[in-house]
Structure 1
Amino acid sequence: MIKISFFGCAFLVLISCNMAFSQKSQLQIARNSIGKLQFAITNKQDTKKQLSILGEGLKAIETAQNDKKTKKWPETWAIKAYLSSYISIIDTDEGNSDKYYGLAVAAIDSARRIDKFQANTRLIYASVYNINIKKQDKANSAFKNNDFTTAFNSLKEVSDFFPKDTTLAVNTAIAAQNIRNFDKALEYFKRAKEAGIKNPVVFQNLANIYTSKFDHDLAIKTIEDGLKLNGEDINLTNDYINLLLDNERYTDAIHVIESTLKVDKNNKLLYFLYGYLYQNSGNYNTAALSYSKALNIDENYFDAIYQLGLAYVDSANEALKSGKDGSQKFSSFINRAEIALLQAHEINQNDKSTVQLLIDIYTRKNKLDKVQELKSKLEEF
């Protein structure tokens, strides 16, 4: 008969209890390391000290995760995730940082999977927060290296975690633009706009994307929203005017230009556009005045001086229809046109339209030598 020793059984039970107590002690050491870390951060202790505390906690948690009982506890993995994730953002050794980043991601997955009662939510959230800080660093590095696909994939995840961060949303949108994923670019620019960003470039980019999708009304509305926040931004204003012109909303464009010129009196382009709109509507006098104001700012502004010459030609043609005084007015306007177009020709001697208008003027004036000279020049082009 085999005898069972009571003492032997008692000894085995004692050993088993000691092992369980040991694993719980290791878990407590890991818990304590979190408290020590918070104390070190609050008291601005250096990175070396913080890494030492983290190393102590991880050593304990690795023992706990290898025990058949405590490895089933979600707290074990939540603590490992937090400690590993924190190392990943403070360790300056890139290889070490990446290593702990990987360990943290795996530990977060394990913690979430077995934490059925969500008892470790705060610790898991803090770990995910740290991981996203690390992802942002990795994304920035990828962006600098023109690896925009990697940058976008990382930034997208970080922006989704911090949806109110407008800078992250904009950077994600820019990365999306660089890989020509305009739908995603639109999504993240909109996120930045909805989160309250004021940067006019965001509104310009949004409007450009809407325009590319032929949603012109929404493009115009977006620029209008941007101008409400950036009323004096000249680039937004110019985009607004161009959108109105492209969509043939000429009256609206004139009103915007008029309002802008009250503030920006030295904008030659706006004076030119104002003149051009009035010229197209047949108001040649207002057009000529506006072109002249543009030329007061820049006397060598070719487009303005060419259009001024053309406005005088249009005025001359209208004068011929006006009755008995038409001939005298025609002569006055055609002479002004000649002067303006000669100046335009001096600025840009290779412009065919200018030369052709001068040929027409000299033909009307019966200056055939000038006509022949300019026709010869025209053949050289």
Structure 2
Amino acid sequence: MKKILFLFLMIVSIADVQAQRSQVRNAYGYLSTGNLDAAKKAIDNASKEEQVANRPRTLLYKSFIYSGIALDTNHKAAVFGELQVALDAIKQITGKNKGSSIGQDDVDDAFNRIFTASYNRGMRAYNENNLRDALRYFEFASQLNKEDTSLYLNQAVLAQKLFEKEKAIQAYEQLLKMNYKTPEIYRNLGKLYEETGKAADAFRVFQEGREEYPENEGLAFDELGFYLKNGNPADAIEMLESVIKFDPTNPTIWFSLGVAQLKAGTIGEAEDAFKKAVELKPDYYDAFYNLGLIYYNSASKLIKKANDQSRFISEEEYSVYRNDYLQELNVAEKFFEKAYALNPKDVNLLMPLREVYVRTGQPNRAERLRAEIYLLD
């Protein structure tokens, strides 16, 4: 009786296996005709029997079917799960268990289908402004093609837009390791390091970028900004002076040199640089404003000195101080008024200009600016 029961169970088991294998064939048939839902149902049923589920052909068809679902443009929902199932299935087909009927070309085809599906999904998500899903799809695709620079570039740009700065840094660094270099990559990577408090890395990236692209203006200004923010005006001045050799008629470079000179405390050189900037660009508001500020600040120091000494000096000696600071204020007025003609709405300009009018005995003009400042505030 036991033998009969055992034989019966064996027959049932063999029949189940045969049925599952039949489901595998059915799944492939459905896949061939584009009936992905039926193909998925059949391959899932076939995979319930462990002996069948682990067969190379079952795994291959399972990968084909799930990547096919991911490729299907009619399938609107996210397909991260389907892509992972497809990838896990094909990874199980190793050299040890690869069947004689499954060749390397089949395995390569499966990987290519998964890659194509993930890349296409990433592009679709990006075009639909679903940036987070797009980033995930491109990250998935890069597992399958580690040599495709476009994947890392997409990841870097998307991660930066999503404020995932560490991911963006990793992607940009990977591009540089792959010898994929552009000025924008160096600029973006340097700024990301700066924003995440990694000054040494930012300095390294800006330096490397400038060595690769010594004439790139954008990189030069980014490096300048970094130097100025991190207290390196001397380095900024040296860098700008080298840039000017390539582009001596660029007013922005001369203005930036003036800013660096101001930070370094070399006021005379700063004044010369700002004057060169307005010579090249007569409507350069910021340069005129800074020229006015140089003389305004000089006058302020003289006024303070005169006031500090007023109790210890004669009226005649005090008038010497007064004449000196009035001369500085008159020059400041000239530059401030040129700036005012270009932009009369800047409170940062109106306040010192009003002070100049007060100090130089022009009450009507001072009152007019007081009213303008009140309206702007």
- Using the alignment, how far apart are the partners of 1:106 and 1:349 within structure 2? 64
Q: Does residue 336 of structure 1 match 2:335? A: no
Runs of 5+ consecutive residues of structure 2 not aligned to the other structure: 1-17, 34-38, 306-316
Q: Which residue of 1 aligns with 2:262?
A: 279
Contact 2:56 2:97 in 1 (8 A): no
Q: 1:150 aligns with which of 119, 126, 133?
A: 133
Q: Does residue 139 of structure 1 match 2:118? A: no
Contact 1:74 1:111 in 2 (8 A): no
Contact 1:288 1:312 in 2 (8 A): no
Structure 1 residues 359 and 130, CA gap change in structure 2 (3 angstroms): closer
**Cα deviation 1:79-129 (Å, max 9, x = unaligned):** 53686589779x8x734999xx99997566445446571535723243112
Q: Which residue of 2 aligns with 1:297?
A: 280
- Using the alignment, how far apart are the partners of 1:180 and 1:211 within structure 2? 14
- Using the alignment, how far apart are the partners of 2:146 and 2:172 within structure 1? 12
Q: Which residue of 2 aligns with 1:183?
A: 166
Q: Does residue 198 of structure 1 match 2:181? A: yes
Q: Which residue of 2 aligns with 1:251?
A: 234
- Using the alignment, how far apart are the partners of 2:263 and 2:85 within structure 1? 68
- SS of 1:180's equivalent in the other structure is coil
Q: Does residue 377 of structure 1 match 2:369? A: yes
Which of 272-281 and 291-300 deviates more? 272-281
Q: Which amino acid aligns with 2:217?
A: I
What does residue range 349-360 of structure 1 map to in structure 2 within 5 Å? Answer: 349-360=344-355
Q: Which amino acid aligns with 1:243?
A: F
Contact 2:186 2:209 in 1 (8 A): yes
Q: Which amino acid aligns with 1:76?
A: R
Which of 245-254 and 283-292 deviates more? 283-292
Q: Which residue of 1 aligns with 2:61?
A: 80
Q: Which amino acid aligns with 2:274?
A: Y
Q: Which residue of 1 aligns with 2:192?
A: 209
- Using the alignment, how far apart are the partners of 1:337 and 1:189 within structure 2? 47
- Using the alignment, how far apart are the partners of 1:114 and 1:127 within structure 2? 11
Q: 2:211 aligns with which of 228, 235, 245?
A: 228
Q: Does residue 94 of structure 1 match 2:73? A: yes
Contact 1:227 1:233 in 2 (8 A): yes
Contact 1:173 1:189 in 2 (8 A): yes
**Cα deviation 1:227-277 (Å, max 9, x = unaligned):** 222222211111111011110111001011111111122332221121123
Q: Which amino acid aligns with 2:96?
A: F
**TM-score, structure 2 as length reference:** 0.69
Q: Which residue of 2 aligns with 1:169?
A: 152
**Cα deviation 1:249-308 (Å, max 9, x = unaligned):** 110010111111111223322211211232344433322221111112221211111211
Q: Which residue of 2 aligns with 1:269?
A: 252
Contact 1:167 1:192 in 2 (8 A): no
Q: Which residue of 1 aligns with 2:96?
A: 117
- Using the alignment, how far apart are the partners of 2:91 and 2:353 within structure 1? 81
- Using the alignment, how far apart are the partners of 2:173 and 2:300 within structure 1? 51
- SS of 2:258's equivalent in the other structure is helix
- Using the alignment, how far apart are the partners of 2:348 and 2:260 within structure 1? 20
Q: Give the alignment's Cα RMSD to 1 decimal.
A: 4.6
- Using the alignment, how far apart are the partners of 2:188 and 2:369 within structure 1? 45
- SS of 1:94's equivalent in the other structure is coil
Q: Which amino acid aligns with 1:346?
A: A
Contact 1:355 1:374 in 2 (8 A): no
Q: Which amino acid aligns with 1:303?
A: D
**Cα deviation 1:109-158 (Å, max 9, x = unaligned):** 44544657153572324311221112100111011112222212211111
Cα drift, residue 225 of structure 1: 1.9
Structure 1 residues 201 and 279, CA gap change in structure 2 (3 angstroms): closer
Runs of 5+ consecutive residues of structure 1 not aligned to the other structure: 1-19, 31-50, 53-57
Cα drift, residue 339 of structure 1: 2.0
Cα drift, residue 168 of structure 1: 0.4
Contact 2:300 2:325 in 1 (8 A): yes
**TM-score, structure 1 as length reference:** 0.68
Which of 256-265 and 334-343 deviates more? 334-343
Which of 277-286 and 246-255 deviates more? 277-286
Q: Does residue 126 of structure 1 match 2:109? A: yes
Contact 1:88 1:97 in 2 (8 A): no
